[in-house]
Amino acid sequence: MSSAFIIAAGLCIVAGGFLDYLKVPLESKRRIYWYLAALTMLFAVLAAYPDPATILAAIGVMLIATVGWAYAHTPYIRIRGTIYAFQPLHKNAESEGDSAKLQRHEQIATPPKIWWIIAGFGLAFDVAVCSSFLPGREGFSFHNDRELILYMLGFCLLFAVGMGYGEAKFRYPIAQGQRLQFFIASVSSAGLFAVVYLSVYHLTSKATRHRDN
């Protein structure tokens, strides 16, 4: 019986993910989504019953899943007239006029969110390095942690080159003013992120000015 409730909860989550394809008003989609989220919670409780600890864990997991999905991919979180969403495109879902017209590169996320994601990757690297020095671990070395080093190199190339080029191309200031996140990413990579980002940023800015002239 618990398996059936788990499957039912999963189907509710999947159904909520497909609401965006329905040709119905946004408010109707929002209500249907949260009705499905409530059903998901109910099925999770029934699947975990009668163990209280399992019930709380199931509710927590489903709450994170439903609210997290709504925040990341939809404009369904609306509190006191304000939409809370990861993407500006969704935050402006009910706006009209110029405030709703965003360029493609502005629809992904706001600068603070993007730069906190980048800083988060750097902090994750720091945690991995520090944990290697815990008792019983061999410590950090190139021989034992090649995959981790390659991950950091990939991180620097992907984000530093991409952000440096994109922000210079659209004539944004360095890191779009997100100094703390930029500092964290730079320190976490022993300065490599800053070197790559600033090099790409200045080269792109120079090329852009030359092309305009």
Q: Please, are residues 40 and 66 in contact by the beta-carbon 8 Å criterion? A: yes
pLDDT band at 96 (very low <50, low <70, confident <90, very high): low
Q: Give CA separation, 159 vs 45, 195, 207, in Å.
A: 41, 12, 20
- Work out the number of other CB atoms within 10 angstroms of the CB of residue 40: 24
Q: Which residues pair with 79 in a beta bridge?
A: 82
Query: pLDDT-based confidence at 143, cuts 50/70/90?
Result: low
Alpha-carbon distance of 158 to 185, in angstroms, equals: 13
Question: What b/e readout covers 180-210, taking b as 16+ CB neighbours within 10 angstroms?
Answer: ebbebbbebbeebbbebbbebbeebbeeeee
SS3 79: strand
pLDDT band at 98 (very low <50, low <70, confident <90, very high): very low
Give pTM, 2 decimals: 0.60
pLDDT tens digit sequence for 162-205: 899 888 888 889 998 899 999 999 998 889 899 999 999 999 99
| CB within 8 Å of 93: residues ≥ 6 apart | 26, 75, 83, 85
Q: What percent of the chain has pLDDT over 70?
A: 84
* Virtual torsion, Cα 49, 52, 58, 63, nearest 10 deg: 120
Whether a cis peptide bond, with omega within 30° of 0, leads into 88 is no
Distance CA 5, CA 47 (A): 5
CA separation for the pair 136, 31 (Å, rounded):
52
Three-state secondary-structure class, residue 33: helix
